[in-house]
Structure 1
Amino acid sequence: MSEPSTQRRMFNWMRRGRTARLISATIIGAVTGLALFSVTQVTGRNLFIITGSVAGVVAVIVMEAYGRGARLSEVKVTVPQLSEFTFVVNNDARQVAWQLFVETVTRVSTQPLASDEGNIREAMNSLYGLFATTRDTLKGSRPSTGIGGGQTVEYLAVTMLNRELRPFLSAWHPRLGTYEREHPDAPETDWPDNETCREELSVVQGHLHAYALGFARLAGVRDAAALIGTQGPS
């Protein structure tokens, strides 16, 4: 088949398609106009019936859409050093919990640090990064309403910041920084507080592991323990 013939056929097909769309648009416009005209001619009780029916349909659609986004569920999570709490989460809260879970388990801060390996400074920076990211995630998300009387994902996140990260960083970051400034060429293993800091870091890491499992439960992650075990530091 010659190229001009092919182009002609394509043009005819496009023209027919355009004509069909114009006819469909005309029919839809005519039906819509007729319906609107009919409604404007209705008065009295029938007008109220039609108006109420339309309002009811709209209300049902809005409620269903809201229900899909605000569907609540209760989840029990054990907070380290405290006890078991019942959390109430919706889809927005699950998304926040998922983000915090990912941030927690993909950092050096949750990975075991043996006494003869790893780097405290690296773990310290990871803890700082987790603190900043968690705070930014909470600031950038809508606050949970706390419907149902349970705790919210924000409670778990803020508890992790104030009970785990802040005390450890406040106690050990200045000490490590002082040693690094006074002994710029000395290895970290020569730091007199090296062993004690690693012991306390290990405790914090164990607690962060529990918080990560809590975020996973709130987010609905399956086999979270196995997933955390396969994660490596970033």
Structure 2
Amino acid sequence: MPKQDPAKLKKVSVSLPFGIGGAEWEADETERKAAWSLYVELVTRITVQSLEADQGLLREALNSLYSMFAITRQILRDAGPDVGISSQSVGGIAIAVLNKGLRPFLSKWHPLLQTWEAQKPPTASPKQHEKNWSLEPQMYEELLILGKELQQYTEALAEIVGVEE
């Protein structure tokens, strides 16, 4: 069977994370390009890659998540108004993911981790100091849940773009 022309409108139906629900519409080329840019950013970051408790730093994970705000804004600005801001558009979905998924997580954990980091003794490594934090297991657990939600978003972007995960 010949491959579908990616430049043509493609009706997509996606399930979305963070209680956003679902969406169904015909994604045009502008939306598909924006979805591709968002997809590439997500699948190459710690945002959807599992961070094991003995690997990496929680601070690195937060920084990676936080950077998705600037990246998403830039992608949407570059794509222009054709990506839309309704719930049935790439732009609307991206904004909802930032505001309903990433923002609550970061608003909770950024100040808590920052307060703990400020207490680090000069001789302790950042990793060891994180391991000594009483909230570290809880943050890893919530980070894992967030990663699963972001994986669902990534799958939705893949559907919009027409790539197989």
Q: TM-score, normalised by structure 1?
A: 0.61
Q: CA deviation at 1:72?
A: 2.8
Q: CA deviation at 1:99?
A: 0.3
CA deviation profile, 1:84-122 (whole Å, cap 9, x unmatched): 320321111110000000001000121112233332111
Greater RCO, CA 8 A, separation 6+: 2
Alignment match of 2:138 (pick from 196, 203, 209): 196
Alignment match of 1:156 (pick from 93, 97, 114): 93
Question: Unpaired segments of 5 or more residues in structure 2?
Answer: none
Q: Which residue of 1 aligns with 2:37?
A: 99
Instruction: Calculate the aligned-residue CA RMSD, in Å.
Output: 2.2
CA distance in 2: counterparts of 1:168 and 1:87, whole angstroms: 29
Q: Secondary structure at the match of 1:191?
A: coil
CA distance in 2: counterparts of 1:129 and 1:82, whole angstroms: 21
Q: Secondary structure at the match of 2:54?
A: coil
CA distance in 1: counterparts of 2:10 and 2:46, whole angstroms: 32
Q: CA deviation at 1:71?
A: 4.3
Question: Greater helix percent: which structure?
Answer: 1
CA deviation profile, 1:29-84 (whole Å, cap 9, x unmatched): xxxxxxxxxxxxxxxxxxxxxxxxxxxxxxxxxxxxxxx99843210000113433
Contact 1:96/1:153 (8 A) holds in 2: yes
Question: Unpaired segments of 5 or more residues in structure 1?
Answer: 1-67, 225-234
Figure out how many residues of one structure are paired with residues of the other and give that number.
154
Q: TM-score, normalised by structure 2?
A: 0.84
Identity score, percent: 40
Structure 1 ranges of 4+ moved more than 6 A = none
CA distance in 2: counterparts of 1:138 and 1:176, whole angstroms: 30
Contact 1:87/1:153 (8 A) holds in 2: no
Distance 1:218 1:195, change over 3 A: same
